[in-house]
Amino acid sequence: MRYFYIFLFVITLLFAITSCFPVQRLARDFGDYKQTKTILIIPPSKSTIFFSYYPYNPDKYKKDNDTVYPLEKSHFLKHVDDSLLYEVFVEGLEKGLDKYGIDYYLSDSVDAFLQGDDEAYVFSVAQKEMLEYPDTFKQKTQFDTVLYVQELERNNVISNTWFEFTELNNSDRSMNVLFSMHYTSDLFDGNFRMNWRTGEVTYQYTPYKIDVDDVLDLGFFAGYKNGEYIVDYLFNIFLEDQLGKGTIEDYYRYDKRRNSAYRANGDRFIIIEY
């Protein structure tokens, strides 16, 4: 029986290795492929950027999410200029795309884009949301049979982005909504300590609080990551076209420096098919 399990393990390992071969081979070809495509990037407009504030974690109390809370109650978003947020997001987006040496048009070059290749891709930001809310950071430890809990209020800011992807002149490829989320929050570097003479347990920590500059940094970072995600999405389209739809179950990230690919796991667009 032991030899059977060894045999099964070897077969599984060989299958996993060989299944990656086509992906790695095509990753080497993708550098030339992506330069043959005409790509239009439409960043968010000021009318599609929304700021939202909740006095609680909206994921935990979804039934109350229809309530609109005044932005004046927020710590950070009320101080963020939407024009500046737009600028840093677009700057990050362009840097994320430029990292891969990809050619693309922005919304001010639509006429030039329409004169390009028949195979054309459009990534349009349908909505950009900045969401702020507080929640509770909880740390636990146990000394002997006693459980100690420390709770600290934590501020969070989330950047949500929805892209609409369309391939022109190809009715076989449906429009998809591509969603991404990135966040920043207060951090607490600490641990529980016991005074062995008195038996007193305390939680000692150093707080690292976010501020308005961190919110703008998040806007840039979200733009940068979305630029990467756009290239990854194009790479996975390329894999699908070359290998057939449904052939590859995993979603991959493209590594330009190594000219290879690796599984994206959670670092990717969430695809919402129409």
User: What is the model's pLDDT at position 63?
Assistant: 64
User: What is the model's pLDDT at position 2?
Assistant: 52
Ramachandran quadrant class, 199 (left: phi over 0; alpha: psi -120 to 50; beta: rest): left
Specify whether the CB–CB gap between 86 and 43 falls below 8 A: yes
Return d(Cα 163, Cα 154) in angstroms, integer.
Answer: 29
Radius of gyration of the chain (CA): 24
Q: Token pair of 88, please?
A: 């840093």
What is the β-pairing status of strands 105-106 and 38-42?
A: parallel
Please state the length of the chain.
Answer: 274
Q: How many domains does the chain have?
A: 1
> What is residue 61's three-state secondary structure?
coil
Phi, psi (deg, nearest 5) at residue 177: -100, 130
* DSSP-assigned beta bridge partners for residue 154: 135
> Residue 255's closest CA among 227, 231, 274?
231
Print the domain residue range for 149.
2-273
Mean pLDDT rounded to a whole number for the chain: 89
Mind listing the pLDDT tens digit for each residue in 138-172? 999 999 899 999 999 999 999 999 999 999 888 88
For the chain, counts of helices (H) and of strands (E): 4, 11
Mind listing the pLDDT tens digit for each residue in 10-41? 344 334 433 457 899 899 888 776 666 789 99
